[in-house]
Amino acid sequence: MKEGLSRKVFFKACPDYTIENLSDALENLLDQYSETLPQKGSSVLLKPNLLKGYKPEAAVTTHPFFIEAIIIAGKKRGWKIHVGDSPAISSVKSVAENTGLLDILERHNVKLIALNKAKSYKCEGKHFQIAQQLDNYDAIINLPKLKGHQQLYMTAAVKNLFGCVPGKRKAMLHLNIGDKDDGKKFARMLLNTAKEVSPVITIIDAITSMAGNGPTNGQPCHTGFIGICDDPLSLDLALLKELNGDLISDPVYRCLSHSSEFSNSKEYQSNWLGDKPNLSSFYFPTQRRPISFHPFIIIRFVFRMLLSKISKPARA
């Protein structure tokens, strides 16, 4: 994704979301990248998957206890932490509230950020948009959830950074290019978005994952591990290998054969710190099905957002 990456992928078993087990596994992983992590006093944005307001056990979003463990580890290192995302058809506050994350953030005095202000950037002769708020931080830490994906085969590190595209613009990109050229155009856009966001590190929640037809309709399954890498694409490729995925079924991987820019990500080094858990409960979608956002859904969401702003009581 960028020069100077080590592309070293480390995995560590973690049986559950108890803070003791999470902290032990995370510290072991963070030690592998101690020289890459943000310095004391750095402003850091944690970017989890806050797709929709499902309960944590549904495995749709990054588990709130996983995020809490990162917050604790980051504060111990002196980071100034915010948490942010931009769901396509919802508000980030409602998702955080419904998942139980909002209570955790309030307890740790961590601000929730809606990545809703757009700035433009040019890539391959075209203009794209990404959240302007990213410029306010010294470092971005990517916190994806491992899930099968009915359109993209798998959603993990690269796809999670699509959440840095402000809200409804994601829906429009799905409408405009979601299935063109057998998904490769959409995959290329995802890779360019990940490159533009350029997270300093990615730490994936794969303790309870979603098998099959994600991102919301798959089956929660216990995979029992956490992974880390400074290159989101290398992490995704390592995950596909560990989970016995079919590389050719992944549009992002197929996109690499047409691009030398991202091909170095295939030269990753993958290691398990300790024993590898049983991953046989995870499975990928058997049929690819593009995700569509009907225009009526987008219009309804915009109407509800405007209505909430109109009906909000004025401050004294």
Distance, in Å, from the CA atom of 46 to the CA atom of 29, rounded to the nearest integer, reads 17
Q: Please tell me the predicted confidence (pLDDT) of residue 314.
A: 43
Give the model confidence (pLDDT) of 196-236 as tens digits: 999 999 999 999 999 999 999 999 999 999 999 999 999 99
Per-residue pLDDT tens digits of the chain, which is 316 residues long: 777 899 999 999 999 999 999 999 999 999 999 999 999 999 999 999 999 999 999 999 999 999 999 999 999 999 999 999 999 888 999 999 999 999 999 999 999 999 999 999 888 778 889 999 999 999 999 999 999 999 899 999 999 999 999 977 676 665 666 565 667 788 999 999 999 999 999 999 999 999 999 999 999 999 999 999 999 999 999 999 999 999 999 999 998 877 788 999 999 999 999 999 999 999 999 887 776 545 555 455 455 545 545 655 443 3
Q: Please tell me the predicted confidence (pLDDT) of residue 277.
A: 98
Q: Please tell me the predicted confidence (pLDDT) of residue 167.
A: 72
Query: Residue 225 in 3-state DSSP?
Result: strand
The 10 Å Cβ neighbour count of residue 242 is 19
Distance, in Å, from the CA atom of 17 to the CA atom of 193, rounded to the nearest integer, reads 30
Q: What is the pTM for the complete model shown?
A: 0.91
Radius of gyration of the chain (CA): 18
Q: Please tell me the predicted confidence (pLDDT) of residue 173.
A: 67
Domains and CATH numbers, the chain: 8-310 (3.40.50.11440)
Q: Please tell me the predicted confidence (pLDDT) of residue 307.
A: 56
Distance, in Å, from the CA atom of 108 to the CA atom of 119, rounded to the nearest integer, reads 30
Cβ–Cβ under 8 Å, residues 231 and 142: no
Q: Please tell me the predicted confidence (pLDDT) of residue 315.
A: 38
